[in-house]
Structure 1
Amino acid sequence: MASTRLSAPREHLLATASRLFYSDGIRGVGVDRILQEAGVTRATLYRHFAGKEALVVAYLEREDQMIKAIWNEGLGHAVSPDHALEMAIEGIAEDAYRHHTLGCSFIKAAGEYPDPESPARQVIRSHRTWLRTELRRLLAEADRDDVDAKADTLTMLRDALMVGCFLDSPDVTRHTFVRNARWVAGLR
């Protein structure tokens, strides 16, 4: 019970920071604004995070965990390898269309953290490696050829989807992604 009470302020602070980082940019949001909107003290921040960079890393890890949970939940309902591919493509499209209309959290963070060795970029790299690995696995299980190239192409299409839903018509972008991703994945 005590661990639940201790994690509540951390989770509230992290949820507030995540919302602000996503909507206004990581560098555009100062610690004071996060503390004010979360209604917590600086001591609470430093009790749970070493500083803003640790909070950014936790934000990206949280995003990674949420995406993986949704991915695993969705694919748990697949009845065949082709169905799993279809569900993955539709799930990626739905996520961008419904939850990431301001772009991809990871792409946006990469733009603000150009050093490839920074802790934030390590989380981003780990997430992208996971996504490619999952796409390769699904393609291989569906007995597709050239799974590495197809997984790379699907990852690139996902990146374009995330940017397109922000910059262009989300409806058109979603439709274009699904059509092209299905073609790459060999789905009719």
Structure 2
Amino acid sequence: MTVGAILDPPVDVPSLPARDRILATAYRLFYRDGIRATGVDRVIAEAGVTKVTFYRHFTGKNALIVAFLELRHERWMDWFRDALRRHSTTARKRSPVVTAVEEWLGSPSFRGCAFINSVNELGAELPEIHEIAQRHKEAMVEAIREALPVGPHRSQTARALGVAVDGAVVHAQYTRDVAAAVEALGTIAARVTADRRR
């Protein structure tokens, strides 16, 4: 499946149960427009629910933010693990991590990392965001580690590549130059991997 089909699947919002309508709407708006820019009233209006219904399912905006990030984590990790598997079987010489990230950065819906964005927007006000972001990044690094050849420096290499991936994501987000971000990530991945083999 494509990155868009997994991360941003088409959803028939009106046909969903109320909680799912609210979450699907928030998921789209929070990632596309930003959390601060998206108020609860807008989510309620676009989800087609009442305030009473909203507060029956979520205690407030913070609870909705946490639910959004948990869903984003599940979807992103499903896509990333699948992409690493797919790209590990190709004949390309570069790392499957680089090819997977290129797939994501080049997708039409790419707006940066939801977790980095959320920490920057609200980390000081909602400490849970830091915990969710850290858990997400640890899962990303573990997926990278599992995709690397077994060796004594496997975990260190995975952590270095995880930091490099975050750098490429931020670079692509602010420059809108996916090719440059991917090229830099590829250079870092090649050098880190070569260093760890010594």
Structure 1 residues 123-132 or 166-175, which shifts more? 166-175
- By percentage of residues, which structure has more helix? 1
Amino acid at match of 1:112: E
- 1:61 deviates by 0.7
Matched, 1:147 2:154: yes
Residues 41-73 of structure 1, C-alpha deviations (whole Å, 9 max, x = no match): 112222222211111011111110001211333
The residue that corresponds to 1:92 in the other structure is 101
Rounded to whole Å, the distance in 2 between the matches of 1:27 and 1:75 is 33
1:89–1:182 CA contact under 8 A, matched in 2: no
Rounded to whole Å, the distance in 2 between the matches of 1:153 and 1:100 is 26
2:26–2:68 CA contact under 8 A, matched in 1: yes
Amino acid at match of 2:54: L
TM-score scaled by length of structure 2 = 0.76
Q: 1:149 to 1:45 in 2, by over 3 A?
A: same
2:95–2:186 CA contact under 8 A, matched in 1: no
1:93–1:161 CA contact under 8 A, matched in 2: no
Amino acid at match of 1:143: V
Q: 1:99 to 1:91 in 2, by over 3 A?
A: farther
Residues 97-145 of structure 1, C-alpha deviations (whole Å, 9 max, x = no match): 2166321100010112334972222211110111122223333xx0344
Rounded to whole Å, the distance in 2 between the matches of 1:73 and 1:98 is 16
Q: 1:170 to 1:78 in 2, by over 3 A?
A: closer
- 1:149 deviates by 2.8
Q: How many residues align?
A: 179
- 1:76 deviates by 4.5
Q: 1:124 to 1:182 in 2, by over 3 A?
A: same
Amino acid at match of 1:159: D
Q: 1:111 to 1:120 in 2, by over 3 A?
A: same
Matched, 1:22 2:31: yes
Identity of counterpart residues, as a percentage?
Answer: 28
The residue that corresponds to 1:175 in the other structure is 183
Q: 1:115 to 1:79 in 2, by over 3 A?
A: closer
The answer for unaligned runs of 5 or more in structure 2 is: 1-13
The residue that corresponds to 1:38 in the other structure is 47
TM-score scaled by length of structure 1 = 0.80
The 3-state SS of whatever aligns with 1:102 is coil
The answer for unaligned runs of 5 or more in structure 1 is: none
1:131–1:155 CA contact under 8 A, matched in 2: yes
Structure 1 residues 31-40 or 130-139, which shifts more? 130-139
Amino acid at match of 2:153: D
Rounded to whole Å, the distance in 2 between the matches of 1:146 and 1:178 is 19
How much is the aligned-residue C-alpha RMSD, in angstroms?
2.9
The residue that corresponds to 2:76 in the other structure is 67
Rounded to whole Å, the distance in 2 between the matches of 1:178 and 1:87 is 10
